[in-house]
Amino acid sequence: MKTTYRAMQVSAHGMLELVERPTPTPGAGEVLIAVEACGICGADVSDIERADSALNPPRVPGHEVVGRIVALGQNTPSIWKIGQRVGVGRLGGHCNECSECRRGHFNLCRNQPVVGSSCDGGYAEMVIARATGLVSIPEALLSVEAAPILCAGIATFNALKKSGAEAGDTVAILGIGGLGHMALQYARKMGFRVVAVGRGTDIAADAMGLGAHRYIDTELENAAEVLNTMGGAKAILTTTGNPTAVAALMPALQPEGRLVVLGVGKDPLPVSPGYLVGAERGVIGSITGSPYENEKTLDFSVLTGVRPMIEIMPLERAQEAVQKMRSGNAKFRIVLTIGDQTNAHQ
């Protein structure tokens, strides 16, 4: 094993710089992963902008990590082996001690690291990860395909499962980007009547190709009115942090329907209590999922042919890739590759 590895860390000016670091040794319950691919998520932008400049060494972002285990720390569960291909998502491994863990709600554990934010992530050749956060990667998936599923995939897959919608129900997806393009595919494969809601005609063909039965362009149509002519939506999954856009769509929610919030914004979401009480509608949030749920998402993706639409760039171009994601010009995810190790294990 090499004594050093390359990493893209956050510089003092909020930019990314390529550096050489000493190869770390995993501690108890940890593994060292040789990274093959790391997806770029919109949350990476805020991680980079808000990184603590006093950290030494500076933070390495990235939380859609796929690679192979090259070293095991003490007391690592026997299910994890040297050479095994694994992934790590946004949640870096539950503690197994807090009240939420004891209830089996591992994704709600408050004592786990946030990968790329409170601990180093995958914009690097090596990364340390808690064994409780590891996800086994199916052989049928390329590493570059699996990486975005570890965040954008599980976030939308789990949100749809929590939506209360059943096969044949109408489900609206608001925002057709990195999250939305995965939500459309999963919703179609789950048997929903899928309505994509976006802005502009440039995305219409993609939305229909990804699984939508109907695309609503909010620049040309009133989305709530169109949905109501279709009988309303049993569930609305919103991937945008724009509360005005979300509020405009809510009148289309059926009685007992649910608005599932994935997009995080700074401004409050205006919701009338009477609107919720009068027809027993609900508003819920959804946050990724446990490693087990992540593996279920990967397996479902393999079974149904769901794949992220990606652009591949090398680690050295991470700064350019983040800027492209920030600008909204990515279609629909960007994945960094490290070396020539992007193929699924054969």
Q: What is the CATH number of the domain that holds 197?
A: 3.40.50.720
Domain residues for the domain of 333 are 4-136+309-337
CB 337 within 8 Å of CB 145 = no
Whether 245 is covered by a domain: the verdict is: yes
d(CA 39, CA 74) in angstroms, rounded, equals 29
According to the model, what pLDDT value does residue 264 have? 85
For 120: left if phi > 0, alpha if psi spans -120 to 50, otherwise beta; the answer is: beta
Output the pLDDT for position 346.
37
Is the same domain home to 159 and 279? yes
Low-confidence spans in the chain with pLDDT less than 50: 342-346
For residues 262 and 196, state if they share a domain.
yes
Do the bridges between strand 193-198 and strand 214-217 make them parallel or antiparallel, or are there none, so unpaired? parallel
Rounded to whole angstroms, the Cα distance separating 22 from 26 reads 13
Query: Are 124 and 160 contained in the same domain?
Result: no
- pLDDT reported for residue 341: 52
Distance CA 152, CA 143 (A): 15
Domain annotation covers residue 162: yes
* DSSP 8-state code for residue 270: P
pTM given for the model: 0.94
67: three-class secondary structure by DSSP: strand
Residue 141 lies in a domain: no
Residue 257 and residue 187 in one domain: yes
Does residue 190 share a domain with residue 161? yes
Q: Are residues 176 and 126 in the same domain?
A: no
In this structure, the answer to whether residues 56 and 168 fall within a common structural domain is: no
CA distances from 335 to 37, 155, 325 (A): 7, 17, 11
Count of domains for the chain: 2
Closest CA to 287 of 263, 313, 271: 263
DSSP 8-state code for residue 10: E
Q: Name the residue among 217, 223, 279, 221 with its Cα closest to residue 252.
A: 223
Q: Is residue 20 included in any domain, yes or no?
A: yes
One DSSP character per residue, 174-187 reads: E--STTHHHHHHHH
Under 8 Å between Cβ of 190 and 167 = yes
25, 57: one domain = yes
pLDDT of residue 340: 54
| CATH number of residue 131's parent domain | 3.90.180.10
8 Å CB contact between 243 and 270: yes
Looking at the structure, do residues 166 and 235 belong to the same domain, yes or no? yes
Shared domain for 20 and 93, answered yes or no, is: yes
Tell me, yes or no, whether 39 lies in a domain: yes
Establish if 179 belongs to a structural domain.
yes
Domain presence at residue 342: no
Residue 56 shares a structural domain with residue 129 = yes
Check residue 329 and give its pLDDT. Answer: 84
| DSSP summary character for residue 344 | P
255 shares a domain with 163:
yes
The beta strands (E) that lie in 85-204 are given as: 85-88, 126-130, 135-136, 170-174, 193-198
Domain-terminating residue out of 269, 285, 301? 285
Return the number of other C-beta atoms located less than 10 Å from residue 35's C-beta: 28
Domain boundary among 247, 269, 285: 285
Is 268 contained in some domain? yes
